[in-house]
Amino acid sequence: MILGLSLIFGAVAGALTYWATRSAPGAILGTGAATAGAIGLLNQIISGMPDDKDD
């Protein structure tokens, strides 16, 4: 589920980047960055990592 959503987010980011810049290499880099960021974010959200505020 995490990977699927991340790929969707990355594809959307890549399409928007290409639409804005008309640069295929820039769109590919944007796609990779958005996908990697989304994987990390969704993994943290779904895993339910507790905060360090156990005071």
Whole-Å CA distances, 15 to 33, 40, 42: 13, 21, 21
Choice between 33 and 52, residue whose per-residue pLDDT is larger: 33
SS3 content of the chain, % helix, strand, coil (to 5): 80, 0, 20
If one counts every other C-beta atom within 10 angstroms of the C-beta of residue 35, the result is 20
In this predicted structure, the answer to whether residue 39 has a pLDDT above a threshold of 90 is yes
Round the average pLDDT of the chain to a whole number and report it: 90
Query: Can you read off the two tokens belonging to residue 36?
Result: 């990697």
Identify the pLDDT of residue 48. 80
Identify the pLDDT of residue 53. 63
Identify the pLDDT of residue 54. 57
